[in-house]
Homo-oligomer: A and B are copies of this chain.
Amino acid sequence: MNRKFVLARSPEGQLRTDHFRLVEDKVPEPARGEVLIRTRHVSVDAANRAWMQGATYREALSDGMVMAAGGIGEVVKSNADGFAPGDFAYGETGWQEYAALPVTGLTRLEPIEEMTNHLSIFGIPGLTAYFGLTQCGQPVQGETVLVSAAAGAVGLFVGQVAKALGCKVVGIAGGPQKCAMLTERFGFDAAIDYKVEEPLRKAIRAAVPGGVDIYFDNVGGDILEAALSNMAQNGRIVCCGALAAYDGVPPAHGPRGIPGLLVTRRLTMRGFIVFDFYERRAEAIERLSTWVKDGSIKVTEDRIDGFERLPEALVGLFEGGNVGKRIVSF
C-alpha cells in the first residue's frame, strides 16, 4: 500500500494538522518515461504553506491533492532510460511513500555520506543562501550582513557563507538558546532575540551602529521594517521569503519607509527564487563543499523520523521549533 497525506481543506488562517488527511492507496505503476520512487526524506519548508495561499511561482494546491513537497527517494522500478533501481533522486515526491514520477523532473543524486545533505546544504536551503547572498546581496569583504530567521534552514547557511566571505554577521532569531548557538557554535558576531528586544529597531542599531550593508530577509513584516530603518547607504535587501505572511492572513500593510528610505539611502531590494540560478548549481555546490570540508560551514539538520509526523513537522515550523533544515525521514 501507499500511504499519503492529502490536503483535507485549504487553511484560512493558521495551519493545523487537521488540514491534512492520511489516505491509503495502491502503489502506482510508473508510465513510460517514469520511475517509481520510494520516498525516504521529505523537505519541510515554509514555502509549502505559501503554496496553499494561491499561485506563487507554482500552481496553488487545492483540496484533495496530495500535499506537495520536494523529497529524496530511491528508484524501485524504472520505466525510463537512465534510471535504474537503487538510484537515488530528488524530485517532487510530495507527502507519500511511493511516487511515480517522470524522469524529466528528477535530479540524480550522488551517493554521499549523509544523503539528507542533498536537502540542506547541497539542496534548496544551501543554494538559496548562496545565490541570494552572492548574486542579490553582492557582499564585499568587511561589510555587515544581517539575517532574519537566522537559526532556520536558510539563515544558518546565509550567516556562515557570509562569514566565509569575510563579512561581519548579525543574526535575528527567537529565544536565548538559538541566539547563543548562533554566536557560540556557528560563528555569528552577534545575535538578536526578537522575542525580547523591544523595539527591534533599536536593538539592531546597537548591534550595527554603522548600518547594515546587506539584510537577508527571510520573514518580511515588522522585522523587515526594523531592518529597513537601519540600512547603510547603498545597502541591499535580499528578499527571500515572507514567513510572516505565509501562515495566516496576509499583513494589512507593507513596511513603512518604502519608498522613502530606498531613495534617501539608495537602497536596492531584490526578490528571487533559487530556481532562477539553478543552472549554476554545480558551481555553488563545489564552493559550498569546500567550505563544509574546511569547517567554515557546519551543517545542522532538524530531522524527524516517521511518515505520520509530516503534518506536525510543517505546523511546528511556524512555531519556530527547528534549528536548521527540517526533514522528515521514513
Contacts and interface: CB of A to CB of B under 8 A. Distances in A.
Contacts of A250: 256, 260
Given A254-B254, A254-B257, A256-B254, A272 B276 contact: no
Interface stretch (A171-179, A235-243, A293-301, A305-313): A235-243
A126 interface: no
A292 interface: no
Which among A259, A264, A271 has the greatest number of chain B C-beta atoms within 10 A?
A259
Interface in A205-247: 217, 220, 224-225, 239-242, 245
Contacts of A225: 254
A267 interface: yes
Given A255-B258, A258-B220, A271 B276 contact: no
Nearest to A259: B239
A265 B271 contact: yes
Contacts of A262: 239, 269-271
A261 to B, nearest CB: 7
B241 A263 contact: yes
A248 to B, nearest CB: 13
A112 interface: no
A60 to B, nearest CB: 12
Which among A57, A264, A273 has the greatest number of chain B C-beta atoms within 10 A?
A264
A266 to B, nearest CB: 5
A259 B56 contact: no
A259 B217 CA distance: 9
Given A252-B253, A254-B253, A254-B254, A242 B259 contact: yes
Which among A252, A262, A265 has the greatest number of chain B C-beta atoms within 10 A?
A262
A268 interface: yes
A85 interface: no
Interface in A187-218: 217
A251 interface: yes
Interface in A152-166: none
B271 A266 contact: yes
Which among A224, A225, A250, A270 has the greatest number of chain B C-beta atoms within 10 A?
A270
Contacts of A251: 256
B258 A254 contact: yes
B245 A57 contact: no
Given A253-B252, A253-B253, A268-B268, A263 B273 contact: yes
A213 to B, nearest CB: 15
A264 B220 contact: no
B263 A239 contact: yes
Contacts of A245: 260
10 contacts: A220-B259, A241-B263, A242-B260, A242-B263, A253-B253, A254-B257, A259-B269, A259-B271, A261-B271, A266-B272
